[in-house]
């Protein structure tokens, strides 16, 4: 039914799409958690209210991504996850803390709210740092040396800042008044981290691998690739200008920092995808080598083609229902 040669590529694309959706969607609600220490008590409630209906579904994209890696590329799954054992554990503990703190902070006795807010922040931070660390290790080919760990520490910090930036963009979009003005200042502070992070990854990636170096800097690839850094640079400049002019009187362009951050992440993602293709474990295992049996992939693909449009439809429905500025979360 499906060409067995094409199936691994389709699943690699699905995996990429899930990771990208995860990074953007959970990115903004992790970012909101990261910004907790800078907000007051009532502001934190409103920030939580802005992500309340979404965070759970956002996190499900991570489960889908790991699921696709697991089912479509079982060999790569084992290689990658055993190499990243410790950062994965840190991320999982972070996700646990963050997910439960979300509920506990509102349901526990009032005196316990502050410690749970602390847990929400700590969980978000652990998750963001661990994911950034894993990104760095992945770029470095999953080998543990002093140099790779140092680089991964840098990407860990960079991703946490990037998440904070998109989180600030989300708060600008979903709130108004004093909190919105605060979020604009957070975004102004965060944009430098984004530039630094993306720059560091861009400089390091070709240096680590001669193959990627050749892929980037040979003619005519360099011409087709050039729009990526150019567009990123232009977008950063526009974001910087916009953040200086926000908030506007009628709240126009409040969407721009968030959307700009999303586009930046998408551009960064495509840069990475271009560099690493066709490898799934960098320089060791290609997409084709790691793929599961075609008949198993085919049966998943049938289900995916039917169900994924439905998932996207009701996800969009949820964002439509909860559009506009965040208000009090209430069960009735």
Partner 1 sequence: MDTLLLSRIQFAANISFHILFPTITIALGWALLFFKLRFNRTKDRKWMDLYLFWVKVFALSFALGVVSGITMSFQFGTNWPGFMETVGNVAGPLLAYEILTAFFLEAVFLGIMLFGASRVPGWLHTLATFLVAFGTTMSAFWILVLNSWMHTPVGHELRDGVVHAVDWWAIVFNPSMPYRLAHMLLASGLTVAFLIAGLSAWRWLRGDKAPEVATGLRFGVILGALLIPVQILAGDMHGLNTLEHQPAKVAAMEGNWETRGHVPLLLFALPDEVARENRMEIGIPSLASVILKHDPAGVVPGLNDFVAEDGTVTHPPVAAVFWSFRVMVGIGVLMLVASWAGVWMLWRRGAESLPRPYLWGLTGMTFAGWGATLAGWYTTEIGRQPWLVQGVLTVEEAVGEIAAGMVLTTLIAYLVIYLVLLAAYIGVIFHLARKGGRVAAPLTAPVLQPAE
Q: Within positions 105 to 164, which residues make up the interface with partner 1, using CB under 8 A?
A: 105-109
Tell me how far apart the alpha carbons of residues 159 and 268 are, in angstroms, rounded to a whole number: 12
Cβ closest to partner 1, residue 244 vs residue 328:
328
Helix (H) / strand (E) containing 13:
helix 7-34
DSSP state of 331: -
Cβ closest to partner 1, residue 93 vs residue 236:
93
Burial status of residue 247 (CB atoms within 10 A of its CB: 0-12, 13-18, 19 or more): middle
DSSP strands (E only) in the chain: 279-281, 285-286
- The interface region with partner 1, picked from 50-58, 158-166, 261-269, 272-280 by CB under 8 A, is 50-58
- Diameter of the chain measured on Cα atoms: 64
13 binds partner 1 (CB under 8 A): no
Nearest to 89 by CA among 137, 126, 135, 119: 126
Nearest approach in angstroms of CB 312 to partner 1 is 9
Question: By the 8 A CB rule, do 72 and 11 touch?
Answer: yes
The size of the interface with partner 1 (CB under 8 A), counted in residues, is 74
Determine if the peptide bond prior to 54 is cis (ω within 30°): no
Q: Give residues 54-93 in contact with partner 1 (rule: CB under 8 A).
A: 54, 56-57, 59-60, 62-64, 66-72, 74-75, 77-82, 84-86, 88-89, 92-93
Cβ closest to partner 1, residue 68 vs residue 195:
68
Q: Give residues 251-310 in contact with partner 1 (rule: CB under 8 A).
A: 292-293, 295-296, 299-300, 303-304, 307-308
For partner 1, the binding residue among 42, 147, 178, 214 (CB under 8 A) is 42
Nearest approach in angstroms of CB 109 to partner 1 is 6
Cβ closest to partner 1, residue 237 vs residue 318:
318
Cβ closest to partner 1, residue 89 vs residue 237:
89
> Inter-axis angle of helices 113-139 and 146-174, to 10 degrees?
130
**φ, ψ for residue 49 (rounded to 5)?**
-60, -30
DSSP state of 144: -
Cβ closest to partner 1, residue 58 vs residue 155:
58
Nearest approach in angstroms of CB 270 to partner 1 is 25
46 binds partner 1 (CB under 8 A): yes
Nearest approach in angstroms of CB 234 to partner 1 is 35
Q: Give residues 218-237 in contact with partner 1 (rule: CB under 8 A).
A: none
Nearest approach in angstroms of CB 208 to partner 1 is 24
Cβ closest to partner 1, residue 53 vs residue 193:
53
- Would you give the distance in Å from CA 47 to the centre of its chain? 19
Question: By the 8 A CB rule, do 172 and 248 touch?
Answer: no
């Amino acid at each position: 039914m499906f060409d067995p040669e094409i199936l691994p590529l389709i699943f690699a694309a699905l995996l990429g799409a899930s990771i990208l959706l995860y990074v953007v969607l959970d990115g903004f609600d992790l970012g909101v958690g990261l910004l907790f220490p800078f907000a007051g008590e009532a502001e934190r409630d409103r920030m939580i209210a802005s992500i309340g209906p979404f965070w759970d579904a956002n996190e499900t994209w991570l489960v889908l991504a790991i699921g696709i890696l697991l089912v479509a590329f079982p060999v790569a799954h084992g290689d990658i996850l055993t190499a990243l054992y410790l950062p994965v554990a840190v991320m999982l503990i972070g996700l646990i803390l963050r997910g439960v703190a979300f509920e506990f902070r509102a349901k526990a006795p009032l005196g316990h709210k502050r410690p749970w807010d602390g847990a929400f922040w700590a969980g978000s931070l652990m998750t963001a740092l661990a994911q950034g660390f894993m990104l760095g290790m992945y770029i470095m080919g999953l080998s543990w040396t002093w140099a790779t760990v140092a680089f991964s520490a840098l990407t860990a910090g960079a991703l946490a800042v990037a998440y904070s930036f998109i989180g600030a963009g989300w708060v600008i979009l979903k709130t108004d008044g004093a909190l919105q003005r605060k979020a604009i200042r957070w975004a102004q502070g965060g944009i430098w981290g984004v530039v630094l992070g993306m720059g560091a990854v861009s400089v390091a990636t070709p240096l680590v691998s001669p193959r990627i170096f050749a892929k980037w800097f040979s003619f005519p690839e360099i011409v087709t690739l050039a729009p990526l850094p150019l567009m990123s640079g232009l977008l950063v400049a526009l974001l910087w200008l916009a953040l200086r002019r926000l908030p506007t009187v009628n709240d126009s362009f409040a969407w721009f920092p968030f959307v700009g951050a999303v586009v930046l992440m998408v551009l960064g993602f495509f840069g990475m995808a271009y560099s690493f293709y066709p490898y799934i474990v960098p320089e060791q295992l290609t997409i084709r080598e790691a793929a599961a049996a075609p008949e198993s992939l085919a049966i998943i693909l049938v289900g995916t083609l039917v169900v994924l449009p439905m998932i996207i439809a009701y996800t969009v429905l949820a964002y439509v229902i909860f559009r506009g500025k965040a208000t009090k979360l209430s069960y009735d």
